[in-house]
């Protein structure tokens, strides 16, 4: 009799175990594989930010009613091994995805991923248009058209004819295939974050508007890549502006060349344009490139000197002079150096 009872009890245990196993499997299936429906318009655009925690992602998905349960989503992520593998990107979530399908989307895509792009110090809008196409697949023609679009520029709170000078030189992360509007706003924010109230106050102290500071900074950057020289060159232009002397800045002429930089001829100095600082006194109408922090700071904080002239020294820098006669000596020295290079 005891043996028979044990056999019956064993069969009952097996039945219970099987029933529990089936219940667990069915519960798991319906929990993790059943589609989750949301009421928002599909596909739903969801951005996982660079460095964002999985807990934050879960909270936002729940708050926006994309998932019905934070607990189930976290369990599914543990099973999938997704907690540390989701990627910063912009995702387009279709409706009726299960937890596991949603996690697979976050890990494997498809999505628009963040791509690095750097605006080089002194880069013009024309060349930047080519760069955004190459690096982040943004329509270059639309980009270049937008940076001179009056209504769009006005929407940024600016009263200028072009965004030349206002797209700050630094490293950015931009979503691949972003709209030109989105990319430009990111680049412009780089400038507004840098040019704070303290710098605006400094501009007022030296009698310049923000636009004029950027214009001068762009010329300074056009003249030199040597950060150590920038405040000295800035002082030359400040000194000339104070006495009403024409800036005679070569970079403002080169800005007028449709095909980019080339050696300036005497005929080029006759070009009819307000940007021609050989013909017109004062600053040109606007920046000629997008200057970086060093050139902007040099424009705001020039050296204290009496220099009015400078010319290349053949060594990557410049020789400076207070008088025209000393300047001519420096020019002769530079021409002698050029002649020696051509032997």
Tell me how crowded residue 107 is: count the other CB atoms within 10 A of its CB: 14
| pLDDT value of position 258 | 80
pLDDT reading at 50 higher than 90: no
Quick: pLDDT tens for 189-217: 999 999 999 999 999 999 999 999 999 99
Centroid of chain to Cα 157: 19
**Distance of alpha carbon 87 from alpha carbon 106, whole angstroms:** 6
For residue 6, what pLDDT is reported?
Answer: 47
How confident is the model over 283-306, as a mean pLDDT?
Answer: 96
Copy the structure tokens of residue 138.
Answer: 């943004």
Q: Based on the number of CB atoms within 10 Å of its own CB, is 135 exposed (0-12), middle (13-18) or buried (19 or more)?
A: middle
> pLDDT class for 1, splitting at 50, 70, 90?
very low
Asked if 58 and 74 count as a contact pair (C-beta separation under 8 A), the reply is yes
Over residues 134-152, the mean pLDDT reads: 93
Rounded Cα gap, residues 240 and 237, in angstroms: 5
**CA-to-CA distance for 284 and 249, rounded, in angstroms?**
10
d(CA 283, CA 285): 7
Q: Given this chain, do its domains 31-110 and 113-194 carry the same CATH topology?
A: yes
Residue 86 to residue 103: CA distance in whole angstroms: 8
Q: Where are the domains of the chain?
A: 31-110, 113-194, 197-307
Percent with pLDDT over 90 in the chain: 62
- Rounded CA separation 23/10 (Å): 20
**For residues 230 and 220, what is the distance between their CA atoms, to the nearest angstrom?**
6
63-86 tens-digit pLDDT: 998 988 888 888 888 888 888 888
For the segment 232-246, what is each residue's pLDDT rounded down to a tens digit?
Answer: 999 999 999 999 999
Angle between helices 70-80 and 54-63 (to 10 degrees): 140
Strand order in the sheet with 112-118: 44-48, 89-93, 112-118, 171-175
DSSP 8-state assignment for residue 49: P
- Of 144, 142, 162, which is closest to residue 153 (Cα–Cα)? 162
Gap between the Cα atoms of 285 and 307, Å rounded: 24
Q: Which residue has the tokens 């940007």?
A: 275
Cβ contacts of 257 within 8 Å, gap of 6 or more: none
Backbone angles phi, psi at 80, to 5 degrees: -75, -20
Closest CA relative to residue 126, chosen from 116, 141, 111: 141
| Angstrom distances, CA of residue 3 to CA of 11, 223, 338 | 13, 101, 111
Class of domain 113-194: alpha beta
User: So what CATH class is 31-110?
Assistant: alpha beta
The one-character DSSP state at 259 is T
With a cut of 70, say whether residue 275 has pLDDT above it. Answer: yes
**SS3 for 82?**
coil
Backbone angles phi, psi at 36, to 5 degrees: -105, 125
Cα 178 to Cα 316: distance, rounded to the nearest angstrom? 39
pLDDT at residue 170 greater than cutoff 80: yes
150 and 141 Cβ atoms separated by less than 8 Å = no
């Amino acid at each position: 009799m005891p043996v028979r009872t044990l056999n019956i009890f064993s069969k009952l245990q097996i039945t219970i175990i099987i029933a529990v196993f089936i219940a667990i499997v069915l519960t798991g299936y319906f929990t993790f594989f059943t589609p989750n429906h949301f009421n928002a318009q599909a596909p739903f655009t969801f951005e996982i930010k660079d460095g964002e925690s999985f807990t934050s992602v879960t909270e936002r998905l729940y708050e926006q009613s994309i998932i019905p349960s934070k607990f189930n989503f976290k369990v599914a992520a543990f099973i999938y091994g997704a907690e540390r593998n989701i990627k910063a990107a912009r995702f387009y979530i279709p409706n009726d995805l299960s937890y596991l399908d949603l996690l697979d989307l976050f890990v494997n895509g498809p999505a628009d991923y963040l791509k690095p792009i750097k605006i080089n110090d002194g880069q013009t809008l024309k060349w930047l248009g080519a760069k955004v196409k190459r690096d982040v697949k943004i329509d270059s023609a639309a980009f270049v058209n937008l940076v001179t679009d009056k209504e769009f520029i006005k929407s940024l709170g600016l009263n200028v004819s072009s965004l030349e000078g206002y797209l700050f030189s630094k490293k950015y992360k931009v979503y691949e295939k972003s709209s030109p509007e989105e990319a430009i706003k990111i680049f412009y924010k780089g400038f507004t974050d840098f040019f704070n109230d303290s710098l605006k106050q400094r501009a007022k102290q030296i009698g310049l508007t923000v636009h004029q500071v950027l214009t001068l900074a762009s010329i300074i950057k056009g003249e030199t890549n040597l950060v150590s020289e920038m405040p000295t060159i800035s002082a030359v232009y400040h000194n000339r502006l104070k006495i009403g002397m024409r800036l005679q800045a070569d970079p403002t002429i080169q800005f007028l060349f449709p095909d980019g930089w080339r050696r300036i001829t005497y005929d080029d100095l006759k070009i009819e344009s307000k940007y021609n600082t050989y013909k017109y006194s004062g600053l040109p109408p606007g920046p000629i490139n997008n200057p970086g922090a060093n050139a902007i700071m040099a424009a705001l904080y020039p050296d204290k000197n009496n220099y009015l002239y400078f010319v290349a020294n053949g060594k990557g820098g410049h020789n400076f002079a207070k008088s025209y006669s000393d300047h001519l000596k420096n020019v002769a020295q530079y021409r002698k150096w050029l002649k020696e290079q051509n032997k």
